[in-house]
């Protein structure tokens, strides 16, 4: 299986993809839009996308893309994320003038970064991409927040491990594929989670009424979030439901909701989380994955 992900080799999305399918090869993509395009165009069988972090919150761009693009969610993965501060060999922390990383990673390490005196914090497109840039351009006095594996891939030295603000820092990823391939990716695993998005008229009690269709049927809503719809001061509501779409209670709830929601879309119905118990920097993972991941470049 070829899995598309955003970033460079050593990115956390790649590690999440390896949890989903340990035998997969990987296709690095510059942007989240490129992951969707690779799957839609048949260049990759599926794509792995981060959607939420336990410290930094929601990755809103991917929620927007899930609405806009015709790829259903077929699985979710939770990955413990342990950030390291990386730099060229021989660099000391007191030598640093700049630190680069993805905005989400910087947000997850805010407390540590505030402790660095006189260091400019610079947002970049990717964690592992920041490590790659330092190596390729031989940037002295510049650090990257990324995974231990990214440091090993690009020959950087670890100045400090575990710089995230919370030890249980975790990112949730979803796997997307073409509609025609969805059943094969789910296989015979129980489908016990559904993600939907809908709009509501701006009238008193509209959200209460929408949530009541699930409460009346004892369906657990595990996540709710609103996002701008694209029209001023109008919003879309994203819900995660702890039930499969084909359960009769879910079917009736969605039918009820559709009676008064101007728009409603099921983004996916899929088996709930595949948890990772190991840090992404574990040496045995790195050694086992290097050859496979190189094949997807």
Active-site amino acid positions: 171, 173
Measured at the alpha carbon of residue 239, what is the angle toward residues 237 and 243, in degrees to the nearest 5?
155
Q: Is residue 284 helix, strand or coil? A: helix
CA dihedral 171, 77, 13, 119 (to 10 degrees): 10
* φ and ψ at residue 229, rounded to 5 degrees: -85, -15
Place of tokens 């003038």: 97
Beta-strand ranges (E) seen in 44-169 are: 46-53, 57-58, 73-80, 84-87, 98-101, 120-123, 142-146, 157-161
The DSSP call for residue 280 is T
User: What is the enclosing helix (H) or strand (E) of 197?
Assistant: strand 193-199
């Amino acid at each position: 299986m070829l899995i598309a992900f955003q970033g460079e080799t050593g990115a956390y999305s790649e590690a999440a993809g390896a949890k989903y399918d340990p035998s997969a090869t990987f296709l690095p993509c510059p942007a989240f839009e490129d992951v969707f395009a690779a799957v839609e165009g048949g260049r990759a069988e599926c794509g792995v996308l981060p959607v939420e972090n336990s410290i930094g919150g929601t990755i809103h761009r991917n929620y927007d893309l899930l609405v806009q693009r015709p790829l259903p969610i077929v699985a979710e993965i939770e990955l413990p994320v342990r950030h390291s501060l990386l730099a060229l060999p021989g660099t000391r922390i007191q030598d640093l003038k700049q630190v680069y990383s993805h905005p989400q990673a910087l947000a997850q390490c805010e407390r540590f970064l505030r402790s660095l005196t006189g260091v400019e914090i610079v947002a970049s497109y990717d964690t592992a991409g920041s490590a790659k840039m330092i190596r390729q351009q031989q940037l002295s006095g510049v650090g990257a927040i990324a995974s231990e594996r990214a440091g090993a891939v690009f020959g950087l030295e670890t100045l400090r491990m575990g710089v995230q603000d919370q030890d249980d820092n975790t990112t949730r990823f979803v796997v997307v594929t073409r509609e025609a391939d969805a059943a094969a990716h789910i296989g015979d695993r129980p489908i016990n989670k559904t993600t939907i998005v809908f709009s509501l008229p701006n009238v008193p009690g509209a959200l209460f009424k929408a949530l009541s269709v699930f409460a009346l049927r004892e369906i657990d809503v595990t996540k709710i979030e609103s996002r701008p719809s694209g029209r001023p001061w109008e919003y879309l509501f994203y819900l995660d439901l702890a039930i499969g779409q084909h359960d009769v209670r879910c079917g009736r709830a969605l039918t009820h909701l559709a009676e008064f929601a101007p728009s409603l879309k099921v983004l996916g119905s899929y088996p709930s989380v595949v948890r990772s118990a190991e840090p992404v920097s574990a040496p045995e993972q790195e050694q086992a994955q290097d050859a496979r991941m190189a094949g997807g470049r």
